[in-house]
Chains A and B, each alone.
Chain A
Amino acid sequence: MTGLQKPELVCPAGTPAGLRTAVDAGADAVYCGLKGPTNARNFPGLNFTVAEMAEGVAYAHDKGAKVLAAINSFPTAGRTDIWKAAIDDAVSIGVDAVIAADIGAGAYLARTHPAQRFHLSVQAGASSVEAINYYCRSFGIKRVVLPRILTVAEIAELHSEIECEIEAFIFGNIGMMAEGRCLLTSYVTGQSTNMDGVCSPASHVHYAEDADQNLTTRLGEFAIDCVSCGQTTGYPTICKGRYDTAPKKGYYAFEEPVSLNLTKLLPDLMRAGVTALKIEGRQRSRAYVRAVVSAFRQAVDAYHAGADPDISDLLALTEGGKETQGAFGSKTWR
């Protein structure tokens, strides 16, 4: 693959220790969020105080890595000060880019901190040339994080027509709904993915086992899956549950509990002109982050050098041991 620019490996950092782990394992950049509703992974025990993020920036910069601050949920009317403060704080501690999705947050960032590098979050759901160029023109975004719904061929075509860099997900959890446009958690639990940064909150998940050891999983009042003894499954979300419709019973109506794994498509993505490769998983353990980041570091370096790396280890790390190329491989996924 000589002659191609080596893509940046963008890795998750849910905690300060996770950030150091990812940087040490070879991340070119880490992304992280501040505590509270301002980012799309507002889970208990995750995320950074401003002071912690400042320390993270110092640590990463010292090792030649970048820090990208995800402030990518949708500020709610009447409490936008929380998001504005998060943007101001992130800029003041010297993050390398702010990742945002909301038009209002984008307008605030572009107006108040015009020199700050701005990446358009996947939560903006910008999946067409025109949508991406709208954000480029309106807010001067430098990079778009693409929704996980495009094929590699479509990404290559997009690359030639848009005015910014492309960051694409390559590994980790894959939500089935268009990012930034899913109210399912909100409908069931009252906590909103868009406004609170919450998806399928653990506080609303309940398990009940019957006499035959069948395990029913509930989110709020609704049974979203029933697992018989011995079956493996991932973290329960509405879009990976099993349901009944008239034509089919007890099936994964939206998607099986699988993880995205584009290891085999990495050379194609690099040829398609992708600037940055993103690994999902700010909620995952340090051991997981270390293993995944190291493996991808080796894979990207090997592909770039024209070698064929051994990528079999990554399968063991996917959700429930099941993997998919999602939309990236072929249109038949749709």
Chain B
Amino acid sequence: MDISNYIYLSAILFTIGAIGVVVRRNAIVVFMCIELMLNAANLAFVTFSRIHGNLAGQVTSFFTMVVAACEVVVGLAIIVAIYRSRRSASVDDASLLKR
């Protein structure tokens, strides 16, 4: 199979994630879309690594996974704190700052 298909797949996943962040309203789902974008970048890194025949891209994707895990910890902590004080995880309900 042509290896460039993986690049197309990665671009599609990234686009789905980027659109999802904009159109979805639940903070958890928005967050999942962001994770999808990070993983799309990972897929691109690994594919380019294969194309160029060096390991730098694969190493980068490991770092990305670790960083994404840290991001989950911080992100869920914030979302849970918001949910507990408002009983809602919708990003539309969080609008006190708009006046």
**A and B physically associate:** no
